């Protein structure tokens, strides 16, 4: 290029919001390049000529004394494109400018502002609309009281507080300090007057009263353990004098991780960090004993948790069965299912944090005499609407099933046998009800506890949170967060690759973020506070897997795909464990560490016991955990991410993309939503036009069966119902190898599967060692809004070769892969195949544990509701009934 950029006279440019920033010629180049590519007119030499001409015109017009406005520069670009006879490129550039202007105006309308800052610009219209409706704090008039930037500042400003109080200048890990007398402190007096990042007479970020309140609570807690070197007043003087200012970099690391969309914590953290409620965890498990006092206490505690923004799981197996004697009243017991209705009613009337109804997981163990009534619990319309239900199955039952031996049912009151049942009858009933209603799910007791590091100290885990990805002890909580894998795709000379170094750095920061949550969380009950700090459980997971695989052009259910998702999970687990060990060296181990299996060098990861699978040095991790200890009892969980993945503009959790393109209904009209990575492909392939958008949307969001797309594209760009259900199970297995808690995954099944398919899914999951499984058969809860060719043709039509069926045969699970003809003529137990069903918009969802029955989205009034990750989710606005995502 003829112009020497170091001598270029124009150094600054005026942005639309009035800010004056450095002039970056590369942005001019990138904009012209994109316009060329969009109309298939990219030419490197011509691009260089146009850019040089644009820069010359700007230099001649403004020189070193005047500063151009961004609109002036764009006008010059348009003129240059026309001058070089690039009329199609100029048209594309003009349309792009108009589109960007429309987006800017829409964003400003959503955020109730007349300008956009650098954070507003990073997030899409979809993400900002979701933030404004759900996450941003509002004043008493219902107007926005903060912007996205302030949201992430508010969260990061809370999360950095433990880094300050665990600083060795104030913290003594050994706990050998004298306990200092309690000192009074009024956080309101200091709110908005002290913070981090000194800037002249002020700070870059300020703490509010809720931040300061949590700071004092953490100080008092550590002080009570003899871990504070100085009294509160001395600490406070140190803070004001700048002793801890270096922790501003920690604050920035948390803030940037969220703003750059590399990581998001679970929704309650975004709602409540630095706000009045201060409750940061998504899910809890409560105990319930066989007496009315315990039952009513559980109802009260559930109400408190729902009010704070959480969901609960309860194992009801300790309650005596229906018809049993009640000695205190000489009456007859009504059984656990009846008492579940009490919690269901509480859920109905108490909104979570004033935002939505709560969610429940109801569990009954398969030996309970009321098990059949429980299995049928969701069969009746309007019953237990606010529950997910799961049957907890033990190995004894599975052995009886395999040998067709009668299975004993026992009364929990006295452990006496109340009768026997055919295990095959119960197993069939579970599958049939799941086939009809998507409930119950299935949990496997021994699979959950096989590697449980706290089994010796606390016994077996027998409950989970509402979505099943966190098996929890009574009064435990889970605070979760998800890395956005799609954010770590980078372009190199070799093509697109995973930025492993960037991912490792993000894992380190995300781990520290979640560990800090434990210390500044305002738990809803004292018993939960105590238990959560005994185990210090966190759950780091991911989202964006499907988009990452799209970007790398790897089919989701190919052997390469399964291998990569396993490798990624192992990589995250390895570095999370490594960070937890490092933090134990400076802050101490979790209190129950000495009673755990870590002291023997045993890790709660199934993959650890499969040395042939290792790609990392797990021997070092085990030895270090044994020698130095570890900060947290559990570290990994793959949770639902419906809303937070929409904030990050990526795919949800471990799930495949639900639709590549669909019609999105918003207040200003209807337009086509396109998966971002699929849109990149369409542009590269010269297929980015309205005709293609409509074709794919009308095909249920799938490209299967559309000859305009080459076979390789049809193999890569698969949606949930393109993938055989057995490959969904296998994906959960490969990721679960390196997850110590559990994995939330919907096993999507088309409407034409049989009850036998559901039973085979359960057997496959059990024999693979999965901790639980949730199936969702299309049409079992509603009319489906998106109908793919696999659903319409009553067969899987995607051809991705893998070894899944071979693995199933090796585990003695036989599956008949249907052809279209055999399925259409099969006699389905309840309703006809999808080929005979008139497709129409969703009428309603009867979904347990997810806030009840919805005929339309309660947020945007749209009808694009889907069922994913155990939750109702709106495709239009991102609203979800899930407490986590």
Lookup: tokens for 863? 């009808």
Nearest CA-CA partner of 508 in 262, 224, 735: 262
State the pLDDT at residue 19.
85
Q: Kindly calculate the radius of gyration of the chain based on its CA atoms and give it in whole angstroms.
A: 28
Instruction: Give bridge partners of residue 483 from the DSSP assignment.
Output: 263, 542
Query: Measured between alpha carbons, how far is 508 from 626 in angstroms, rounded to an integer?
Result: 21
Coil vs helix vs strand at 610: coil
The reported pTM is 0.92
Alpha helices by DSSP H, listed for 454-611, are: 455-458, 500-520, 526-535, 545-552, 559-587
Query: Measured between alpha carbons, how far is 815 from 669 in angstroms, rounded to an integer?
Result: 45
Per-residue confidence band for 357, with pLDDT thresholds at 50, 70 and 90: low
State the pLDDT at residue 867.
72
Query: Measured between alpha carbons, how far is 334 from 357 in angstroms, rounded to an integer?
Result: 26
Nearest CA-CA partner of 317 in 287, 292, 355, 277: 287
Instruction: Give bridge partners of residue 360 from the DSSP assignment.
Output: 312, 387
State the pLDDT at residue 832.
31
The full DSSP string for 177-238 is SPPPPP----HHHHTTT-EEEEETTEEEEE--HHHHHHHHHHHHHHHHTT-BSS-HHHHHHH
Query: Does residue 844 or residue 458 have the better pLDDT?
Result: 458
Q: Decide if 787 contacts 703 (C-beta within 8 A).
A: no
- DSSP letter, residue 829: S
Count of positions (residues) in the chain: 885
Nearest CA-CA partner of 308 in 477, 102, 492: 477
Per-residue confidence band for 682, with pLDDT thresholds at 50, 70 and 90: very high
Please enumerate in sequence order all residues whose Cβ is within 8 A of that of 25, keeping only pairs 6 or more positions apart, or say none: 5, 8, 51, 55
Nearest CA-CA partner of 607 in 718, 724, 736: 736
Q: Decide if 634 contacts 736 (C-beta within 8 A).
A: no
**263-265: strand order across its sheet:** 263-265, 480-484, 539-543
Query: Measured between alpha carbons, how far is 651 from 659 in angstroms, rounded to an integer?
Result: 10
Q: Decide if 272 contacts 516 (C-beta within 8 A).
A: no
Whether the predicted pLDDT of 209 surpasses 90: yes
Residue-wise pLDDT for 743-782, tens only, equals: 999 999 999 999 999 999 999 999 999 999 999 998 877 6
How much is the mean pLDDT over the chain? 91
Query: Measured between alpha carbons, how far is 388 from 845 in angstroms, rounded to an integer?
Result: 13
Least confident of 90-99, 821-830, 838-847: 838-847
Please enumerate in sequence order all residues whose Cβ is within 8 A of that of 436, keeping only pairs 6 or more positions apart, or say none: 379, 780, 830
Per-residue confidence band for 654, with pLDDT thresholds at 50, 70 and 90: very high
Instruction: Give bridge partners of residue 202 from the DSSP assignment.
Output: 199
Buried b vs exposed e over 690-723: b needs ≥16 C-beta within 10 Å?
eebbebbbebbbbbbbeeebeeebbbbbbbbbbb
Per-residue confidence band for 873, with pLDDT thresholds at 50, 70 and 90: confident
Nearest CA-CA partner of 353 in 150, 134, 521: 134
State the pLDDT at residue 242.
96
Nearest CA-CA partner of 521 in 265, 739, 704, 740: 265
Whether the predicted pLDDT of 838 surpasses 60: no
State the pLDDT at residue 853.
57
Q: In angstroms, what CA-CA distances link 577 with 533, 754, 768, 847?
A: 18, 42, 24, 36
Please identify which residue in the block is written with the tokens 């060795």. 168
Lookup: tokens for 527? 């018993």
CA 599: distance to chain centroid?
Answer: 31
Coil vs helix vs strand at 144: strand
Please identify which residue in the block is written with the tokens 């109730």. 112
Q: Decide if 276 contacts 208 (C-beta within 8 A).
A: no
Lookup: tokens for 35? 């316009």
Look at strands 471-472 and 463-464 and give their pairing.
antiparallel
Query: Does residue 465 or residue 34 have the better pLDDT?
Result: 465
CA 352: distance to chain centroid?
Answer: 19
400 exposure class (CB count in 10 Å sphere: 0-12, 13-18, 19+):
buried
Query: Measured between alpha carbons, how far is 55 from 57 in angstroms, rounded to an integer?
Result: 5
Coil vs helix vs strand at 356: strand
What φ, ψ does residue 162 adopt, rounded to 5°? Answer: -60, -30
Per-residue confidence band for 822, with pLDDT thresholds at 50, 70 and 90: very low
Least confident of 178-182, 334-338, 841-845: 841-845
Query: Measured between alpha carbons, how far is 508 from 579 in angstroms, rounded to an integer?
Result: 6
814 exposure class (CB count in 10 Å sphere: 0-12, 13-18, 19+):
exposed
Q: Decide if 207 contacts 195 (C-beta within 8 A).
A: yes
Residue-wise pLDDT for 372-411, tens only, equals: 999 999 988 778 888 999 999 999 999 999 999 999 999 9
Q: Taking residues 99-123, what's their average pLDDT? A: 93
Lookup: tokens for 714? 């049809």
State the pLDDT at residue 200.
87
Q: Decide if 596 contacts 584 (C-beta within 8 A).
A: no
Which residues are designated catalytic?
465, 467, 469
State the pLDDT at residue 819.
64
Peptide bond preceding 269 in cis form (omega within 30 of 0):
no
- DSSP letter, residue 438: S
Residue-wise pLDDT for 480-536, tens only, equals: 999 999 999 998 888 899 999 999 999 999 999 999 999 999 999 999 999 999 999
What φ, ψ does residue 775 adopt, rounded to 5°? Answer: -105, 150
What is the sign of the dihedral through the CA atoms of 297, 278, 259 and 582? negative
The full DSSP string for 744-794 is --EEEE-TT--HHHHHHHHHHHHHHT-SEEEEEETTSSS--S---HHHHTT
What φ, ψ does residue 189 adopt, rounded to 5°? Answer: -65, -30
Q: In angstroms, what CA-CA distances link 826 with 340, 408, 721, 737, 818?
A: 38, 35, 20, 37, 10
Query: Measured between alpha carbons, how far is 764 from 758 in angstroms, rounded to an integer?
Result: 10
CA 528: distance to chain centroid?
Answer: 23
403 exposure class (CB count in 10 Å sphere: 0-12, 13-18, 19+):
exposed
Query: Measured between alpha carbons, how far is 509 from 254 in angstroms, rounded to an integer?
Result: 7
Query: Does residue 802 or residue 818 have the better pLDDT?
Result: 802
Whether the predicted pLDDT of 686 surpasses 70: yes
Task: Express as a percent the part of the chain with pLDDT over 90.
Answer: 76
Q: Decide if 580 contacts 631 (C-beta within 8 A).
A: yes
H or E element that contains 314:
strand 311-315
Please identify which residue in the block is written with the tokens 């948790």. 305
Residue-wise pLDDT for 38-57, tens only, equals: 787 889 999 999 999 999 99
Alpha helices by DSSP H, listed for 135-186, are: 148-159, 161-165
State the pLDDT at residue 879.
72
Query: Measured between alpha carbons, how far is 427 from 433 in angstroms, rounded to an integer?
Result: 10
H or E element that contains 407:
strand 407-410
Residue-wise pLDDT for 572-606, tens only, equals: 999 999 999 999 999 999 999 999 999 999 999 99
Lookup: tokens for 137? 């704090």
């Amino acid at each position: 290029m003829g112009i020497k950029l170091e001598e270029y006279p124009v150094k600054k440019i005026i942005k639309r919001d009035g800010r004056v920033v450095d002039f970056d010629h590369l942005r001019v180049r990138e904009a012209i390049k994109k316009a060329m590519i969009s109309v298939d007119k990219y030419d490197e030499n011509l691009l260089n000529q146009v850019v040089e001409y644009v820069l010359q015109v700007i230099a001649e017009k403004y020189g070193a004394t005047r500063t151009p406005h961004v609109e002036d520069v764009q006008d010059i670009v348009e003129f240059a494109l026309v001058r070089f006879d690039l009329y199609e490129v100029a048209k594309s550039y003009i349309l792009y400018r108009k589109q960007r202007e429309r987006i800017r105006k829409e964003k400003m309308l959503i955020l109730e502002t007349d300008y956009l800052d650098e954070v507003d610009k990073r997030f899409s219209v979809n993400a900002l609309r979701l933030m404004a409706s759900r996450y941003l704090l509002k004043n008493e008039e219902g107007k926005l009281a903060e912007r996205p930037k302030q949201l992430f500042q508010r969260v990061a400003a809370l999360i950095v507080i433990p880094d300050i109080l665990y600083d060795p200048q104030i913290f003594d890990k050994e706990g050998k300090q004298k306990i200092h007398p309690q000192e009074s402190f009024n956080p309101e007096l200091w709110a908005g007057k002290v913070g981090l990042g000194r800037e002249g007479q002020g700070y870059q970020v300020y703490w509010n009263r809720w931040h300061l309140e949590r700071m004092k609570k953490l100080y008092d807690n550590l002080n009570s353990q003899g871990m504070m070197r100085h009294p509160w007043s001395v600490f406070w003087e140190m803070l004001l004098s700048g002793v801890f200012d270096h922790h501003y970099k920690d604050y920035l690391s948390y803030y940037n991780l969220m703003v750059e969309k590399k990581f998001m914590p679970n929704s309650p953290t975004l709602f409540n960090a630095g706000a009045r409620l201060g409750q940061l965890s998504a899910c809890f498990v409560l105990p319930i004993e066989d007496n009315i006092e315990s039952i009513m206490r559980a109802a009260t505690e559930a109400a408190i948790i729902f009010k704070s923004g959480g969901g609960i799981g309860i194992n009801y197996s300790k309650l005596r069965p229906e018809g049993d004697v009640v000695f205190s009243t000489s009456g007859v017991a009504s059984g656990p299912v009846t008492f579940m209705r009490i919690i269901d009613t509480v859920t109905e009337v108490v909104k979570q944090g004033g935002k939505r109804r709560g969610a429940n997981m109801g569990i009954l163990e398969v030996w309970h005499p009321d098990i059949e009534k429980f299995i049928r619990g969701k069969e009746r319309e309007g019953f237990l609407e606010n529950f997910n239900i799961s049957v907890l199955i033990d190995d004894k039952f599975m052995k009886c099933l395999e040998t067709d031996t009668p299975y004993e049912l026992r009364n929990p009151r006295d452990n006496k046998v109340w009768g026997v049942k055919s295990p095959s009858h119960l197993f069939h009933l579970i599958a049939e009800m799941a086939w009809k209603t998507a409930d119950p799910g299935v949990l496997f007791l021994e699979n959950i506890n096989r590697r449980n590091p706290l089994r010796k100290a606390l016994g077996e885990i027998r409950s989970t949170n509402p979505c099943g990805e966190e098996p929890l002890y009574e009064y435990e909580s889970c605070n979760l967060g998800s890395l956005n894998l799609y954010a770590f795709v980078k372009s190199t000379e070799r093509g697109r690759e995973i930025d492993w170094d960037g991912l490792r750095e993000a894992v380190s920061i995300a781990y520290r973020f979640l560990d800090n949550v434990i210390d500044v969380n305002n738990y809803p009950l004292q018993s939960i506070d105590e238990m959560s700090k005994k185990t210090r459980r966190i759950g780091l997971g991911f989202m964006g897997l499907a988009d990452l695989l799209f970007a790398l052009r790897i089919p989701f259910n190919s052997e390469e795909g399964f291998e990569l998702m396993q490798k990624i999970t192992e990589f995250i687990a390895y570095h999370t464990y490594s960070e937890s060990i490092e933090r134990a060296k400076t802050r101490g181990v979790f209190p129950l560490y000495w009673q755990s299996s870590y002291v023997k060098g045993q890790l709660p990861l199934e993959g650890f016991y499969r040395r042939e699978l290792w790609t990392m040095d797990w021997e070092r991790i085990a030895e270090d955990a044994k020698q130095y200890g570890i900060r947290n009892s559990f570290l990994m969980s793959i949770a639902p991410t419906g809303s937070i993945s929409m904030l990050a503009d990526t795919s949800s959790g471990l799930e495949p993309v639900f639709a590549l393109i669909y019609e999105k209904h918003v207040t200003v009209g209807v337009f086509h939503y396109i998966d971002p990575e699929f849109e990149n492909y369409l542009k590269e392939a010269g297929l980015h036009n309205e005709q293609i958008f409509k074709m794919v949307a009308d095909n249920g969001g799938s490209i299967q069966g559309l000859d305009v797309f080459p076979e390789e594209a049809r193999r890569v760009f698969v949606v949930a119902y393109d993938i055989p259900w057995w490959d969904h199970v296998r994906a959960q297995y490969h990721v679960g190898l390196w997850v110590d808690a559990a994995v939330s995954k919907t096993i999507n099944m088309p409407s034409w599967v049989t009850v036998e398919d559901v039973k085979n899914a359960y057997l496959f999951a059990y024999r693979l060692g999965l901790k639980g499984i949730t199936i969702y058969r299309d049409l079992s809860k509603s009319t489906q809004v998106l109908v793919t060719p696999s659903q319409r043709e009553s067969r899987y039509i995607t051809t991705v070769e893998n070894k899944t069926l071979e693995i199933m045969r090796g585990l003695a699970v036989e599956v008949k892969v249907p052809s279209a003809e055999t399925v259409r003529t099969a006699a389905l137990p309840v309703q006809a195949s999808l080929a005979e069903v008139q497709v129409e918009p969703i009428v309603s969802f009867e979904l347990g544990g997810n806030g009840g029955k919805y005929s339309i989205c309660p947020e945007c009034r749209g009808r694009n509701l889907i069922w994913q990750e155990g939750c109702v989710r709106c495709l239009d606005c991102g609203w979800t009934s899930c407490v986590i995502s």
